[in-house]
Amino acid sequence: MLENIEAVIFDLDGTLVDSMWMWEEIDIEYLKKHNQQVPAGLQTEIAGMSFTETSHYFKKRFKIKDSVAVIQSEWIAMAHYNYANKATLKPGVRKFIQYLQTNNIKLGIASSNSKDLVEIALKAHGISDAFTAIHTSCEVESGKPSPDIYLLTASKLGVLPNNCLVFEDIPEGILAGKRAAMRTCAIWDEFSINLDSQKRELADYYIRDYEEVIEGTYEVL
C-alpha cells in the first residue's frame, strides 16, 4: 500500500478519531433547542460538506434565525468537550503515525470539520506535531466529494497527488481522494457500516485498524 507513497493524508472524524457518533448527538440536541427533530437521512445529505457548507445548509433548511457565525460557534462549543474528553483515536493510529515518521513519509489532515475542532482533537491526543499540513474544506471552494481539499493539502505538503495515500471513512471522502488522483484506503467505522459496500467499490484498499497496514494484512480491492 505504501509503495511510492511520499505522503499520507487523513480525514479526521471517523478516520483518525472515533467521533462520528458525536455529531449525530449534536444535531439532535441543536435542533431540539430550535423545537425541531432530526429528519430521516440528514447525515447522508450533509456527508462530505464542509463545516461552513453545513452551517449554511442548516440555516436555510431549518430556518434558523441565528447567523451562520453563531450556528458555528454553538456547534464548536458543543463539540469541544467531547473532542477533548470522550472521542478516542481509532485502533492503531498512534503506532501507524510512528511507523510513517520512521519511514520519512509526510503526514497531513484534510477534514470537513472546523479548523478549531481539528486542532482541539489532535492536541487532546498529543499528535498535532506529527502533521506537516492541517487543512479543512472551509479553505477551498467546495467540500468533499470535490477533490479541492486533498489537492490543497498535497500542495502544502509539497507532494504530487499520485504519490499520496488517502484514508477515509465515508464514500464522499473516498471519492474526493480518487478525484484528486490519489490512492485511497477505506477504514471501517460503525457509523458508516451501512455504506461499507459503497466504500469498498470506490477505494483501493480496506482496513479495520491501522496495524493492518503495518502488518500487510489489509484488503486489496
Q: What is the pLDDT of residues 129-156, one digit of tens each?
A: 999 999 999 899 999 999 999 999 999 9
In this prediction, residues 55-81 reach a mean pLDDT of: 91
- Provide, for the chain, the percentages of residues in helix, strand and coil under a 3-state DSSP scheme, each rounded to the nearest 5: 50, 15, 35
Q: What is the mean pLDDT of the chain?
A: 94
Burial (CB count <10 Å: 0-12, 13-18, 19+), residue 110: buried
- Percent of the chain residues past pLDDT 70, beyond the cut: 100
Q: What is the pLDDT of residue 94?
A: 97
Copy the grid coordinates of residue 2. 505504501
Q: What is the pLDDT of residue 50?
A: 82
Closest CA to 149 of 26, 3, 12: 12
Q: What is the pLDDT of residue 135?
A: 97
pLDDT band at 66 (very low <50, low <70, confident <90, very high): very high
Residues 57, 134: Cα–Cα separation, whole Å: 24
Say if residues 47 and 99 touch (Cβ distance below 8 Å): no
Q: Render pLDDT for 193-207 as a digit per residue (tens, 0 to 9).
A: 999 999 999 999 999
The domain made up of 7-18+88-220 has a fold known as: Rossmann fold (3.40.50)
Say if residues 148 and 172 touch (Cβ distance below 8 Å): no
Of the listed ranges 9-18, 45-54, 65-74, 155-164, the one predicted with least confidence: 45-54
Of residues 79 and 162, which shows the higher confidence score?
Answer: 162
Copy the grid coordinates of residue 104. 520519512
Residues 53, 140: Cα–Cα separation, whole Å: 11
Say if residues 71 and 59 touch (Cβ distance below 8 Å): yes
In this prediction, residues 71-77 reach a mean pLDDT of: 90
C-alpha distance from residue 33 to each of 18, 65, 71, 152 (Å) = 25, 12, 12, 36
Residue 95 is inside which H or E element, if any?
Answer: helix 93-102
pLDDT band at 101 (very low <50, low <70, confident <90, very high): very high
Q: What is the pLDDT of residue 174?
A: 98
Of the listed ranges 33-37, 105-109, 208-212, the one predicted with least confidence: 33-37
